[in-house]
Amino acid sequence: MLDDNLDEKVQMAELRGQFKTMIGSPMAFGMVDTNKDGGIDMQEFEAVMPMMRQRGGQQPPAGAKPPMGR
């Protein structure tokens, strides 16, 4: 789970692993954070996952939970 403060959004400081590699720069994070509230919510996360899978060449493990822990 990436949502350390449990606000149902992932802020840039909470990014780790592959997520940090892919969207850890301010420019990339800003592109994913489409409503510009400073965090990536579930809707924004789901919208970017196809691109992350394509770039990373990996599918998340079966049964993997989204970073918000839902």
Distances from the Cα of 70 to the Cα of 9, 26, 39, 59, angstroms: 11, 25, 16, 18
**Quick one: pLDDT at residue 52?**
77
Residue 52 lies in a domain: yes
pLDDT at 58: 53
Domain-located, residue 20: no
For the segment 8-62, what is each residue's pLDDT rounded down to a tens digit? 999 999 999 888 988 899 999 999 999 999 999 999 999 988 887 887 655 555 5
For the chain, how many structural domains are there in total?
A: 1
Radius of gyration from C-alpha coordinates of the chain: 11
Q: What is the pLDDT of residue 54?
A: 82
Q: How many CB atoms lie within 10 A of CB 11?
A: 17
* Long-range contacts (CB closer than 8 Å, 24 or more residues apart) made by 33-38: 37/9, 38/9, 38/11
Q: Is residue 39 part of a domain?
A: yes
Calpha distance 47→10 (Å, rounded): 14
Residue 51 within any structural domain of the chain: yes
